[in-house]
Structure 1
Amino acid sequence: MPPPPESGEVDLRHHGDAEIGGGLADFAVNVRTGMPPQWLAERLRASVADLAAYPDPRPARRAVARRHGRSADEVLLTAGAAEAFVLLARVLAARRAVVVHPQFTEPEAALRAAGHAVERVILDKDFTLDPAAIPADADLVVIGNPTNPTSVLHPAGTVGALARPGRTVVVDEAFMDCVPGEPESLASRLPAGIVVVRSLTKTWGLAGLRAGYVLADPHLTERLAEAQPLWAVSTPALVAVEACSAPEAVAEAEAWAVELAAERDRLSAELSARGLYVVPEARASFLCLRVPDALGIRALLRQRGYAVRRGDTFPGLGTDWLRIAVRDRSSNDSLLDVLGELGI
């Protein structure tokens, strides 16, 4: 069981990219390494020839719609998930906005920047969702699934149970394609009142390209589009969205998710065997663990050339938490060896 969350403010704008650099082995950023694959890189290079024309989002919208079995008017393409959260914060007029933590902090930061008062619901019991913890009169609820940084995957039925008349539930599914088969995704079901935000950043290694999308009721996607600048998503990003939504790309991502699951479970078992608390049932591309003097351990790892993500900038975690990205077996073993040298 995790300890009670520590109180106090955190830096909502601190992200894993601030942890890396200087030749450090990157276990801090949850972006797949060795990406993009050659076929995608070639498509992106070829798109440069079309940069004189304004971007046309329609083919990519149709591709996303086909990928999830939705209609094109339920899709809004965005410059990454971050833009989606900003647009939602600006368009939705919530009376009582609730963000479920620990989770990716950008949705709360966007809400606060747009003038919303934000109430936090901090999960306990291994960070699993209890719908009863959400205030009944909350008309906007934001939750991640699987959740960053805990790697917990909530059942689709539990997340769907948050929906009710007069309430919008925003589900950040940026890491859902880490889960083989995506059984708990709401992207293809899209119940009334549910908004799904997805990103190409993590699986395809496209953080610098900024490519994501929103799936929602057509009336909401239209309102979001009205708040979005013209041509917000670049031609290369649109090419990536279309390409990565194709059946063969989805199958490639699925095969990677299966490999990831095996290596993640192995790494989790190794860390647990050393007496560390690893949040159980991890399903994303990272592990969240409790380490005595985590900030001190993080500093020692940096001295040895390894960057891991501090946990104390996530509401609901504290200074004894770290997040570790799951890499290939050789890289993970190197990290385990260094932790062993530190007595862990």
Structure 2
Amino acid sequence: MNGNVDRAALRHHGDVEALPGLADFAVNVRSDQPPPWLRDRLAAALDRLGRYPGARDDADARASAAARHGRRPDEVLVLNGAAEGFALLPALKPRLAAVIHPSFTEPEVALTDVNVPVERVVLDDYALNPACVPDEADLVVIGNPTNPTSVLHPAEAIRALARPGRVLVVDEAFADTIPGEPESVSGDAVPGLLVLRSLTKTWSLPGLRAGYALGAPELLARLGRHRPQWPVNALVLEAVRACCEPGAVAEAEAVARELEDHRVRFAKALGELPGVTVAEPARAPFLLIHVPGADRLRERLREKGFAVRRADTFPGLTPDHLRVAVRAPDQTAPLLAALRELLGRVSGVRVRDSRAEPAPDPEERLP
């Protein structure tokens, strides 16, 4: 890895793109605030800020998450977001880590920062082939569904990566955004399996940082060995407890079904634009698109009031890739209109309502 340049790219995330005043298609969060019932739960928990979070608070949160996934409470470790789980990976002292790309880049940063050798496994067509992972890797990291490709890998292919002496880290930050959570391994008792879950996306809690890890008690103990006392606050513990209760799980399922419909419609509309290729099959609430000149297109979209996520900072992708968050049709319609206008200038064709007409100024081009 090339020191400062690569590290800066790997630490680029969508929130940097989502400047105030822009329509946000760069961050994969459900909305700009949590649902009212969750806000009320968190507001009520403010009364507990006058004391240290105790063992009972932690136990209640772990019990709620355990019940949600059919696990035991000692198989849950509450985290300051799934990202903290990646930051803790060096405590496992791997000799060689394999990070499957394109994917969320924080695991690679955390490992290379402490000089753990990392082998990038860049997938052809974004499809997982377990044979591509080096046998000698004693730590493997994969996202499912994968950010930014929106690919959902088969659970059997994920399980095929496990073996004695290896820790298999599965980032399931977006698992609850897919109806029924197919291919999730969160309930598996596979030796060495560590599953990271996030509350950020579905519950719109990026400012709180709440998540948890699932795994064998001894593995979780190794992961959290160097954490300070009281590592998570009372609001995080309340969020985990609340969002894992049956009513919340049912709400997440309904939201996932709605997102699935929005994604299908959005992907179809994007794929009809000139020069745009949508990575399929997509299952998560974001889409990876390839369009020539995407780096310039992103700048022109920002001028028109839209933020989309550059994707060339993901290993294996190029300046011609963008990631776009799935939103409701009334929100995506203005973005699609802007894309039609900008891409019509490039192609010499104006696209309107899926019909092509000659553009009045075919010489106009994106700068």
- Measure, in 2, the Cα distance between the counterparts of 1:183 and 1:47: 33
Asked if the contact 2:45–2:234 (Cα under 8 Å) also holds between the matched residues in 1, the reply is yes
- Measure, in 2, the Cα distance between the counterparts of 1:166 and 1:259: 41
State, as a whole percentage, how many aligned pairs show the same letter: 56
For 1:245-270, what per-residue CA distance to the aligned partner results, in whole angstroms no more than 9, with x for missing partners? 00110000000000100110111011
Letter in 2 for 1:44: L
The DSSP-based 3-state class of the residue aligned with 2:111 is helix
Q: Which residue does 1:17 correspond to in 2?
A: 15
Q: Which residue does 1:328 correspond to in 2?
A: 328
The equivalences for 1:149-168 within 5 A come to 149-168=148-167
- Measure, in 2, the Cα distance between the counterparts of 1:273 and 1:307: 21
The equivalences for 1:50-69 within 5 A come to 50-55=48-53, 56-69=57-70
Q: Which residue does 2:359 correspond to in 1?
A: none
The DSSP-based 3-state class of the residue aligned with 2:197 is strand
Q: Which residue does 1:43 correspond to in 2?
A: 41
- Measure, in 2, the Cα distance between the counterparts of 1:278 and 1:9: 26
- Measure, in 2, the Cα distance between the counterparts of 1:252 and 1:197: 21
Q: Which residue does 2:294 correspond to in 1?
A: 294
- Alignment coverage as a number of residue pairs: 335
Listed as ranges, the gaps of 5+ residues in structure 2 are 345-367
Listed as ranges, the gaps of 5+ residues in structure 1 are 1-7
The DSSP-based 3-state class of the residue aligned with 1:150 is coil
- Measure, in 1, the Cα distance between the counterparts of 2:302 and 2:81: 29
Bigger RCO (CA 8 Å, 6+ sep): 1
The equivalences for 1:174-193 within 5 A come to 174-193=173-192
Q: Which residue does 1:209 correspond to in 2?
A: 208
Using the TM superposition, give the Cα deviation of residue 34 of structure 1 relative to its aligned residue in structure 2, in angstroms. 4.5
Letter in 2 for 1:43: R
Using the TM superposition, give the Cα deviation of residue 213 of structure 1 relative to its aligned residue in structure 2, in angstroms. 0.6
The equivalences for 1:81-230 within 5 A come to 81-89=82-90, 91-125=91-125, 127-230=126-229
Change (3 A) 1:124 1:207: same
- Measure, in 1, the Cα distance between the counterparts of 2:231 and 2:37: 25
For 1:40-65, what per-residue CA distance to the aligned partner results, in whole angstroms no more than 9, with x for missing partners? 00011111111011113110011000
Using the TM superposition, give the Cα deviation of residue 117 of structure 1 relative to its aligned residue in structure 2, in angstroms. 1.5
Using the TM superposition, give the Cα deviation of residue 226 of structure 1 relative to its aligned residue in structure 2, in angstroms. 2.4
- Measure, in 2, the Cα distance between the counterparts of 1:42 and 1:22: 26
Letter in 2 for 1:88: L
The DSSP-based 3-state class of the residue aligned with 2:301 is helix
- Measure, in 1, the Cα distance between the counterparts of 2:160 and 2:218: 22
Whichever of the two has the greater Rg, that structure is 2
Using the TM superposition, give the Cα deviation of residue 190 of structure 1 relative to its aligned residue in structure 2, in angstroms. 3.4
Q: Which residue does 1:78 correspond to in 2?
A: 79
For 1:227-283, what per-residue CA distance to the aligned partner results, in whole angstroms no more than 9, with x for missing partners? 211111110111111000001100000000001001101110111122421110111
2:30 is the alignment partner of 1:32: yes
Q: Which residue does 1:5 correspond to in 2?
A: none
Asked if the contact 2:102–2:314 (Cα under 8 Å) also holds between the matched residues in 1, the reply is yes
Asked if the contact 2:192–2:219 (Cα under 8 Å) also holds between the matched residues in 1, the reply is no
The DSSP-based 3-state class of the residue aligned with 2:224 is helix
- Measure, in 2, the Cα distance between the counterparts of 1:279 and 1:171: 21
Letter in 2 for 1:182: E
- Measure, in 2, the Cα distance between the counterparts of 1:195 and 1:108: 16
- Measure, in 2, the Cα distance between the counterparts of 1:113 and 1:9: 12
For 1:102-154, what per-residue CA distance to the aligned partner results, in whole angstroms no more than 9, with x for missing partners? 000011111112221111010112x0100111111111110000000000000
Letter in 2 for 1:258: R
- Measure, in 2, the Cα distance between the counterparts of 1:87 and 1:300: 39
Letter in 2 for 1:60: A
- Measure, in 2, the Cα distance between the counterparts of 1:225 and 1:169: 16
Letter in 2 for 1:341: E
- Measure, in 2, the Cα distance between the counterparts of 1:277 and 1:122: 20
The equivalences for 1:226-237 within 5 A come to 226-237=225-236
For 1:20-73, what per-residue CA distance to the aligned partner results, in whole angstroms no more than 9, with x for missing partners? 113011000011114311100001111111101111311001100000000111
